[in-house]
Amino acid sequence: MRKILIPIDFSECSFNAIRYAMELFKYDRSEVYILHAYADEVYEDKAVLDRTGLEEVKKNIHQHTLQELDRVLERMDRLAPNPRHHFHSKAVFGVMIDAVNDFIEAENIDLVVMGTEGAARDKAITFGSQTLQVIKYVKCPVLAVPACFKDFNPKHILFPTDYLVPYVKRELKLLSTLVKNLAARISLLHVSKFEKLSFRQEDNQTFLLDCLKENNSAVKHFDGDDVMMAINHYLKEEQIDFLVMVNTRHSYLENLLVTSKIDTLGLQISIPFLVLQNLPR
């Protein structure tokens, strides 16, 4: 049984992420949790003048959130009823990143799916601040789905990796199942000026390929050290429609996140982006 968490803000963008997740895992028995964290809505309410007013606003927003969540569940059931999927909703008074992390720990979530419209809804940027926070800090794979992305059947998946750190078998199993369900092919891209791998890299590559042995996978090498350039080249030239990266210390993705280059990368990414987390859990 797969457990999927989808934080939403009731926008069409977040509902599109729900539809995308339902389609990707339509063959898997799944528990799907729809979560809305509403602390910001309470604190930003200008009607709050004292503690009593705060509690009243909190109560009202909680009730309104529950009603909206019920509407979302009804809409999902009308859209694509699936006996393999069981849906749950959760209204949480808290900050979104904390609510997501707490829920991941409490329910042992396998995957977080988020719709994203980019910073300040800037259509030129794929990743907004909420999505970046989740990608950076949660201890669970995160799938970011760009606003209004409609192609629910990716066929060519790109996985840039330096093979320098061990992979988490649980997360690779999730990826393998996803690729298999989609009948897609996956390209493992190594970006380096040196084509020959170290012994550590060879061992990690062997483990990765073994976990993906049931999939149509290929190993590719890009001569150079500019990871962003290599990724954007493949996105453009190889008709990539799904991107996978690993977030861990000293990884390609950590370097992009720490140096804020992810926004530059985001300018050219308009496809779903799965981040595997090599973090303690």
Q: Which residues contact 269 (CB under 8 A, 6 or more apart)?
A: 126, 146, 235, 243
Supply the pLDDT for residue 91.
96
Which residue in this structure is represented by tokens 């979302």?
72
Residue 272 has pLDDT above 60, yes or no: yes
Q: For residues 106 and 128, which has the higher predicted lDDT (pLDDT)?
A: 106
* Domain regions of the chain by residue span: 2-146, 156-244
Domains 2-146 and 156-244 share a fold: yes
Distance between CA atoms of residues 144 and 219, nearest Å: 24
Angstrom distance (rounded) from CA 241 to CA 227? 18
Task: Count Cβ neighbours within 10 Å for each residue of 67-77 and write b for 16 or more, e otherwise.
Answer: ebbeebbeebe
Residue range 126-163, pLDDT digits in tens = 445 677 778 878 889 999 998 867 777 889 999 998 89
Across the range 66-80, mean pLDDT stands at 92
- H or E stretch at 48: none
Q: Which pLDDT band, with edges at 50, 70 and 90, does 48 fall under?
A: low
- H helices present in 138-168, as ranges: none
pLDDT in tens, 5-20: 999 999 888 899 999 9
Give the count of beta carbons closer than 10 Å to the beta carbon of residue 106.
Answer: 8
pLDDT tens string 174-228: 999 999 988 999 999 999 998 899 999 999 999 999 999 999 999 999 998 888 8
Residue 51, classified by CB atoms within 10 Å of its CB into exposed (0-12), middle (13-18) or buried (19+), is exposed
pLDDT at 1: 86
Q: How confident is the model at residue 263 (pLDDT cuts 50, 70, 90)?
A: very low
Taking residues 245-256, report their average pLDDT.
65
Q: Are 141 and 277 in contact (CB under 8 A)?
A: yes
- In this structure, CATH architecture of domain 156-244: 3-Layer(aba) Sandwich (3.40)
Q: Give the pLDDT band (50/70/90) at residue 166.
A: confident
- Sheet strands side by side (includes 85-92): 85-92, 30-37, 2-7, 111-116, 142-146, 273-277, 242-247, 156-160, 185-192, 216-223
Look up residue 188 and give its amino acid: L
For the chain, the maximum distance between any two Cα atoms, rounded to a whole number of angstroms, is: 66
Q: Distance between the two ends of the chain, CA-based, in angstroms?
A: 19
Range of lowest pLDDT (1-15, 25-39, 44-58, 176-190): 44-58
Q: Give the C-alpha separation, 146 to 72, whole Å.
A: 19
- Between 4 and 164, the more confident residue is 4
Please indicate, yes or no, whether the overall pTM of this predicted structure exceeds 0.85.
yes
CATH architecture, domain 2-146: 3-Layer(aba) Sandwich (3.40)
Lowest mean pLDDT among 46-50, 65-69, 136-140, 241-245: 46-50
Residue 48 burial (10 A CB sphere; 0-12, 13-18, 19+): middle
Q: Quick one: 3 exposed, middle or buried, by C-beta within 10 A (0-12, 13-18, 19+)?
A: middle
State how far the Cα of 247 lies from the Cα of 263, in Å rounded to an integer.
16
- pLDDT at residue 232 is higher than 90: no
